[in-house]
Structure 1
Amino acid sequence: MKTPPGECPQCWHHAHDRDAHRHLAPREDCPQCVDHMIHGCRSRVPKPKSRWW
């Protein structure tokens, strides 16, 4: 799956790809996701400018 413009690649991958969390036990937190929630998205891509306005 390709990350849409303006979305964080890690957030998108972990939210939409089942393989990202397959190695975790049931109800186990993903260390990458927890770190990402605490520190925020470092790899955030700016959204393209809207041409509507």
Structure 2
Amino acid sequence: MPGKETPPGECPQCWQHAHDRRIHRRLRPREDCQPCLDHMNNGCPYIVPKKPSRWW
């Protein structure tokens, strides 16, 4: 799903790595993606935008 915008409240890197298969295509079988591992261990380095308030 390349080209889709990151939804509000989602980390851009997490969203892209989860929905764009081209990113992990270069990895060999059973090889881990280093940015994904860093995200799992250290959390998201991005300020995640809040979801828009729609209670009105």
Structure 1-normalised TM-score? 0.84
In structure 1, runs of 5+ residues without a counterpart are: none
Q: Report if the CA contact (8 A) 1:21-1:30 is conserved.
A: yes
* Structure with larger RCO (C-alpha < 8 A, sep 6+): 1
- Between the aligned partners of 1:18 and 1:49, the Cα distance in structure 2 is 28
Q: Report if the CA contact (8 A) 1:14-1:20 is conserved.
A: yes
- Tell me the C-alpha RMSD between the 2 structures: 1.5
Structure 2-normalised TM-score? 0.80
In structure 2, runs of 5+ residues without a counterpart are: none
The residue that corresponds to 1:35 in the other structure is 38
